[in-house]
Structure 1
Amino acid sequence: MSLEIPVSIKPWLNFIHPALMWVLLGVSVYALYLGVKLRKTRYAEGEAKKELIKGRYNVRHYQVGSVLLGLMVIGTLIGMGATYINNEKLFFGPHLLAGLGMTGMIAVSASLSPYMQKGHDWARYTHIVLNSALLALFAWQAFSGVEILQRIISKM
C-alpha cells in the first residue's frame, strides 16, 4: 500500500509523535500529582478533608486520566503510522514494544475506574502499580525516542 503524502510534509510527520509524547509525559506527572492529592483527601479528616475536597481532585484526576488515555492511544497510532509512511515498515525493537505495552497498561488502568468508584482497594492498588510502572516506562521512552529522533534528523 502506498500513501501519497507530499515529500515536503513526510519528514515532518516524525515530529508529531515525539512532541505529543513529551507533552503527555508532563500531563502524566500532573495526573500523578492529582492522584496523590486525591489519596490524601480520602484519608484526611475534619477541616483538612473539607479543604482538600474543595480542590475536586477526584474529578480532575479522572478527567486528566481520560484525556491522557485517549491521547496516548492516538499518539501511539501516530508514531506507528508516521514510521510506516516514511519507511514502509515498522522497526521492531524496545521502543515499539514498550510503547505498545504502555498503551495496554493505560487501558487496563483506566478500566479499573468502575471498581475504584465502588471502593475496591485491590483496584486502587493495581491502578497505582500500573501507573507507576507506566510513568517509569514513559520516562525511558522519552529518552529512547530522542535518540531515534536524532538518527532521523541526521538523515535529513
Structure 2
Amino acid sequence: MDIAIPDTVKTWSQFGHPVLMWILLGVAVYSLYLGFQIRRTRTVEDKDVRKDLIKKDFRTRHYQLGSILLAFMITGTVGGMAVTYINNGKLFVGPHLLVGLGMTALIAISAALVPFMQKGNDAARVTHIALNVALLGLFGWQAVTGMDIVQRIISKM
C-alpha cells in the first residue's frame, strides 16, 4: 500500500525531530540538575538544610521528568528514522543514527535501574548516574552532528 504524502508535509516533517531533540536536550540538563539536588538532599549533614531540600520534592520532579524524557526520546528516535525513510526511501547508517540508537538503549537501561535504586541499591544508583552523564555527553555530540544534517537538508531545499 502506497500512501501519498504531500510534499509540504514531507519537507517540513524533517524539522520535527531536530526541534524535539533540542527541547529534550534542555530537559535532560534540567533533569541532571534535579538528580544532583536529590544526591545533595541525601548527603547533606545539616538537618535544617536537608528539611528545606526535602520540601522542594526534587525526587518526584526528577522521576516524572525522566519518564517524559524516556517516552519522548524513544518516540523522537523512531520518528526521526521514519521521516528519513519516508523522504529518502532509506536510512543513512552512520554515526548519528548509531549513536542515537545507542542513546535510546542507554536511557532504557537507566530507567530500568530505578526499581533497584528505590530499594537502596547503591550500585544501581551509581550506574544510573554514570549512564545518564554519558547519555548527556552523547546528546551534546548528537546536537552538533544533527545540525550538520539540518544544514544539508536546508541546502537541498
**TM-score when normalising by structure 2:** 0.97
Residue 59 of structure 2 is aligned to residue 62 of structure 1: no
Deviations 1:69-118 (A, max 9, x none): 00000000110010000001000000000000000000000000000000
Q: Which moved more, 1:1-10 or 1:41-50?
A: 1-10
TM-fit CA distance, 1:18:
0.1
Distance in 2, matches of 1:5 and 1:17, equals 18
* Segments ≥4 residues shifted beyond 6 Å: none
- Pairs aligned (count): 156
| Aligned-residue CA RMSD (Å) | 0.8
Residue 83 of structure 2 is aligned to residue 91 of structure 1: no
Structure 1: unaligned runs, 5 residues or longer: none
Distance in 2, matches of 1:129 and 1:97, equals 20
Structure 2: unaligned runs, 5 residues or longer: none
Contact 1:106 1:134 in 2 (8 A): yes
Contact 1:3 1:85 in 2 (8 A): no
Distance in 1, matches of 2:115 and 2:138, equals 25
Distance in 1, matches of 2:99 and 2:117, equals 26
Match of 1:148 in 2: 149
Letter in structure 2 aligned against 1:38: I
TM-fit CA distance, 1:8:
1.7
Letter in structure 1 aligned against 2:38: L
Distance in 2, matches of 1:79 and 1:10, equals 12
Distance in 2, matches of 1:98 and 1:2, equals 31
Report 1:4-153 matches (<5 A). 4-45=4-45, 46-153=47-154
**TM-score when normalising by structure 1:** 0.98
